[in-house]
């Protein structure tokens, strides 16, 4: 390993045994993951786990698992962590990665935390999506990439990147770069929060942290290889925008 890292548990109110989700358990069994990946699974029983590597330069946050049943995006981010640990990339930034924001919802293979959509509550104290934004402000995060999947039957079923023009135009610049690299549609709104309130992306932009939401078409509640691969490409494109990898 060419870099130092640490694991921290951020939100102890959302813990769950992710390996009780049989889709994930079946997916990982033959992967030969680095032992640190298993540490992440173990710590997730306590809450949201942050994998971090601190360096000079920008400070970036990668996030998935806001919706627990969007499994392909979570596996893409997990695969990226594994590649970092195995020396596939060198980092030129400080990087914070949360592959499983809400382990309880992932364990239950549910979009919701109880009955709540946490991507409508990022502006509300006491919820994991708000906690990750407080963490981002505390760490002086430069930008956030929030990775999701969207069900093929949804009326918004397209590979896409959401962004906002105001108050952070860089959100749109990041989205344009990712879209060009991955053939994903760019879906801007004029002002953050004007269409859907309380999302991680919107609230981050309103708080002065440029953020995008990346979506890949993938059936919910299952893991689809081609979707995992495309989310992975979106992750790498986000990082390349900041010249974060070598």
User: What mean pLDDT is predicted for residues 96-120?
Assistant: 98
% pLDDT > 70, the chain: 99
Question: Can you state the angle between helices 225-241 and 71-85, rounded to 10 degrees?
Answer: 60
State residue 30's pLDDT score. 86
pLDDT score at 78: 98
Q: Look up residue 110 and give its two tokens.
A: 């549910």
pLDDT of residue 11: 87
What pLDDT does residue 154 have?
Answer: 84
Spatial separation of the C-alpha atoms in residues 171 and 85, rounded to whole Å: 28
Average pLDDT over residues 99-111: 98
β-bridge pairing 49-53 and 6-9? antiparallel
Residue 170 to residues 129, 183, 220, Cα–Cα distance (Å) = 21, 19, 30
Cis status of the peptide bond prior to 85, with omega within 30 of 0: no
Q: pLDDT tens digit string along 47-103?
A: 999 999 999 899 999 999 999 999 999 999 999 999 999 999 999 999 999 999 999
Q: How many CA atoms lie within 13 A of 111 on its CB side?
A: 9
- The Cβ of residue 57 has, within 10 Å, a number of other Cβ atoms equal to 14
| Mean pLDDT score across all residues of the chain | 96
Residue-wise pLDDT tens digits, 164-216 = 999 999 999 999 999 999 999 999 999 999 998 899 999 999 999 999 999 99
For 143-152, the pLDDT digits (tens) are 999 999 999 9
Task: Give the mean pLDDT of 104-109.
Answer: 98
The pLDDT of residue 1 is: 39
How, if at all, do strands 94-98 and 59-64 pair?
A: parallel
User: pLDDT-based confidence at 13, cuts 50/70/90?
Assistant: very high
């Amino acid at each position: 390993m060419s870099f130092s890292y640490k694991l921290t548990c951020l939100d102890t109110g959302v813990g769950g045994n992710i390996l009780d989700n049989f889709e994930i358990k079946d997916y990982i069994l033959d992967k030969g993951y680095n032992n640190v990946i298993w540490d992440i699974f173990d710590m997730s029983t306590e809450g949201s786990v942050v994998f971090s590597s601190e360096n000079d330069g920008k400070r970036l946050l990668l996030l998935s698992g806001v919706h627990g049943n969007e499994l392909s995006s979570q596996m893409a981010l997990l695969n990226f962590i594994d590649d970092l640990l195995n020396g596939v990339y060198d980092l030129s930034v400080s990087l914070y990665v949360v592959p499983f924001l809400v382990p309880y919802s992932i364990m239950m293979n549910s979009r919701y935390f109880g009955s709540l959509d946490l991507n409508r509550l990022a502006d509300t104290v006491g919820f994991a999506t708000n906690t990750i934004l407080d963490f981002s402000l505390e760490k002086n995060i430069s930008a956030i990439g929030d990775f999701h999947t969207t069900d093929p039957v949804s009326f918004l079923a397209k590979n896409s990147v959401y962004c906002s023009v105001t108050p952070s135009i860089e959100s749109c610049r990041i989205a344009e770069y990712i879209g060009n690299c991955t053939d994903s549609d760019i879906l801007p709104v004029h002002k953050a929060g004007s269409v859907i309130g309380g999302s991680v992306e919107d609230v981050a932009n309103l708080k002065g942290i440029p953020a995008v939401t990346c979506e890949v078409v993938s059936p919910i509640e299952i893991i689809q290889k081609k979707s995992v691969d495309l989310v992975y490409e979106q992750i790498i494109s986000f990082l390349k925008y900041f010249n974060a990898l070598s």
